[in-house]
Amino acid sequence: MTKRMLIMLGCILVLIAGLAFGFYLHIQKLIASAPKPGAQTVTSLTVTSIEWKPQTTSIANLAPVKGVDLSSEVAGLVKEVLFKSGQVVKAGDPLIQLNAESELAQFNAAQASADLADVVYQRDKAQLAAQAISQAQVDVDLADLKVKRAQAALQKANLDKKTIKAPFNGKLGITAIVAGQYLNPGDKVVTLQTLNPIYADFFQPQQKISQLKLGQTVELSVDAYPDQKILGKLTTLNPKVDASSRNIQIQATFNNPRDELLPGMYGKVNVYLGEAQKFLTLPQTAITYNPYGSTVFVVEEEEGKTPEGTPDGKKHKVAKQVFVTTGDTRGDQVAILKGLKAGQEVITSGQLKLKNGTPVEIDNAVVPDNNPNPKPQEH
């Protein structure tokens, strides 16, 4: 009885093993007959080296060498407006004349008193020479003369405040001041700006300080004149770094003979830091940025295989992921410092559907932008 049970148990085990093997063969047949994923369509670019001149780019605000909003120091009624909006003036040119009749009268009275004190002083000096009066009297006369002259100077200063003058050469803005209008102290009269030369103020991180030197060439572009590149010089480095941003303020000076650049404009400045260097470059779309590093997919040729795993004698293009070290960016391009060699074919778009060994098909009918100096276009 025991021997028969063992034989039956053995038969059952053989049957189970046979069924399992048959199921395994069936699964392998299904896997072999499953359709293989097709090649993924991507765009690519052959890596080449191009010459870049080292530079750093910032957004700058334009500021005048001299600029001020002129205002009245004293209150008064506008008697005459002596300029036109947009006029070019020189330092000292009168612009606004306020009513100054009372101040003029006070000045004339003070000047007359000073003149009389001077006559008295000169007469007493002559009498002192003849020993007709004492030295003390002459000293009193001199002190009185100085007081009267000081009073006249005070009245002259009050009179001068009634005339608003240009403090420096420049171009006037638009004004709404008219004769008969009453001005209070501090009321804005007109803006005065010196436009040639003009400053561009911008910031750079403290890591760039060692590369910045006075006299370096600076290139300015503004959207008002997109086809112009204006060259200037770096003229000032702020003597301290902003503690909150760790940036240093920089000022460059540009000639502005046609007054095309105006204070308050913004523009892009490029500071050239040295001689031109060669870099491998790629479109920025080719780079995949990850917390563990930047990667790109390169195209390599690999020998194809049949479903049974044997070589089929054909070459197929596949994607291989490699790590790269990126450098500066310029327009649509980014410099590659490590990880690639000139002549390698790099995938520039379509990476999201790739992994190592994925077959690819190159179609460059539409490629990503790859311009170091792109310009906005309206379509």
Q: What is the pLDDT of residue 30?
A: 64
Domain ranges of the chain: 40-52+277-362, 55-65+196-272, 100-161
Closest to 201 (Cα-Cα) out of 253, 165, 163, 250: 250
Residue 379, pLDDT > 50, answer: no
Whether domain 40-52+277-362 has CATH 2.40.420.20: the reply is: yes
Helices (H), 69-180: 101-129, 135-160
* Chain centroid, CA 276 distance in Å: 22
Average pLDDT, the chain: 83
pLDDT cut 90: percent of the chain above it? 5
Whether domain 55-65+196-272 has CATH 2.40.30.170: the reply is: yes
What is the model's pTM? 0.62
| Other Cβ atoms within 10 Å of 69 Cβ, number | 11
Q: What's the pLDDT band for 200 if we cut at 50, 70, 90?
A: very high
For 270, counting Cβ atoms within 10 Å of its Cβ (0-12 exposed, 13-18 middle, 19+ buried), the class is middle
What are the Cα distances from residue 270, in Å, to 53, 136, 203, 212? 10, 74, 12, 12
Please tell me which residue, 210 or 28, carries the higher pLDDT value: 210
Averaged over 122-144, what is the pLDDT?
81
Dihedral sign (CA 362, 364, 366, 368)? positive
Task: Residues 100-161: name the CATH superfamily.
Answer: Helix hairpin bin (1.10.287.470)
Dihedral sign (CA 328, 332, 337, 338)? positive
Which tokens is 255 given?
Answer: 């000639």
Length of the chain (residues): 379
209/199 Cα distance (integer angstroms): 20
Q: pLDDT by residue (tens digit) across 39-91?
A: 788 888 888 888 877 778 888 999 998 888 888 888 888 888 888 888 888 98
Q: pLDDT by residue (tens digit) across 227-241?
A: 888 899 999 899 999
Which tokens is 288 given?
Answer: 């995949």
Q: What is the pLDDT of residue 41?
A: 84
> SS3 of 60, please?
strand
